[in-house]
Amino acid sequence: MSFESTGTVAAQAEALQQVSGFFRGILAEVSGWVPELASLFEDQGRPPRAKAVNAATLPLVAELVNGHRWPVVGAGFVAANSAIADTVWHMAWWQGEALEPLVLPSVAAATDAYVRREWFTTPMEKGEPHVTGPYVDFLCTDEYTMTMTVPVTVRGRSVGVAGADVFVESLEPLLLPVLRELDPAAALINHVGRVVISADPQVAAGTLLAPDAFSTFPPSDGGGNQAELSVDTDTPRTVQPRGDWYAGSELSVLRCDRLPLAVVHPIAADRSAVS
C-alpha cells in the first residue's frame, strides 16, 4: 500500500497551530499561577506551611477545572523537596469538578509519586514548561493522561511545579478532526515517538511509532530555545516507522512549535523530502 499525504503546506501549518495551541493554552493558564505561588516562597528563611500553599492553590485550580475552557480533570502545585516548612514533600492537587484533594499516605508514597516522574523532574531540571504523556496515571485516575507542568522559581531557586492533567480520550474529539484534515493516518506523538492520539484506528495510544522522530531536530538548551538556531525546525523531517507500521513508507515529522510533541503521517518513500 502506498500513502499520499493530503496536507498542503497551509494545512500543515494550520494543524500544527491548532494542536500546539491546545497544549500552549493550558500551559499559559498554569503559568499565570506562578507569580502568586512564587510569592509564598520569597523568604527562604521562612518557607510557607502546607496549609498556606493549599489555600493559595485551591482557588486557582477551581477556576481552571470548573471554568470548562479546557478539559482539565485535575490540577495543582507540587512542592520541591523540603520547600514546605512542615513536610518534606507536598502535593496541593485536586481532581474533578468536586475538587477532591489528592492525599498521599506517607512520605515514601510522595517520593514514589513524583520525585522520579517526568512531569516533575523535567521542568525542575530544565526550567521550562513540559508536556508529559501519554501515561497511565496510577496515582490519581488510572486513566491514560497528559500532564502539562511549568516550573515555579524564586530568584533562580526551583520550589516546585504547577500543572494540570487531561485525559487522552478528551483530546480525541478536539484534535482528531484536525489530524484527519491533514492526513487520514496522521498521529500526534510525544518526544520518544509514542502515539498520543491517531487518526488511524489501527494505531493505539501508547504505540511506539516513531522513536527516531526527535533525533532529527536540534536539542533544547534548557531554556525553551533550540541550541542550534541555524537549524530549521519548521521544515518537515522524515524517519522510518518502527517495525512493520506502514511498510514501504516513511513518516513525515512536523514539530509542534517547541513542545515535546510532533505530528507524523506516512508518505511514500520515493516522495519523501530529504531530512
Task: Give the list of residues 6+ apart from residue 172 with CB closer than 8 angstroms, or none.
Answer: 197
Q: CATH topology for 169-271?
A: Beta-Lactamase (3.30.450)
- 3-class secondary-structure state, position 5: coil
Residues 6+ apart with CB under 8 A from 240: 212, 250, 251
pLDDT in tens, the chain (275 residues): 334 445 578 888 999 999 999 999 999 999 999 999 999 999 999 999 999 999 999 999 999 999 999 999 999 999 999 999 999 889 999 999 999 998 776 665 666 667 789 999 999 999 999 999 999 876 666 789 999 999 999 999 999 999 999 999 999 999 999 999 999 999 999 999 999 999 999 999 999 999 999 998 876 544 344 443 334 556 789 999 999 999 989 999 999 989 999 999 999 765 444 33
Q: Give whole-number Cα distances, 59 to 37, 67, 220, 234, 252, in Å.
A: 12, 11, 33, 38, 43
What's the angle, vertex CA 150, arms to CA 135 and CA 14, rounded to 5?
75
- Which part of the chain has CATH 3.30.450.20? 22-167
List strands edge to edge, sheet with 157-167. 100-101, 91-95, 72-79, 157-167, 144-154, 130-136
Give me the pLDDT at residue 219, please.
67
Which backbone phi and psi does 179 adopt, to 5 degrees?
A: -65, -40
pLDDT of residue 19: 97
Topology (CATH level 3) of domain 22-167: Beta-Lactamase (3.30.450)
What is residue 230's predicted lDDT score, i.e. its pLDDT?
35
Q: What is the predicted pLDDT for the residue at 4?
A: 45
Q: Parallel, antiparallel, or unpaired for β 157-167 and 261-268?
A: unpaired
Q: What is the pLDDT of residue 196?
A: 98
Number of Cβ within a 10 Å radius of residue 138 = 10
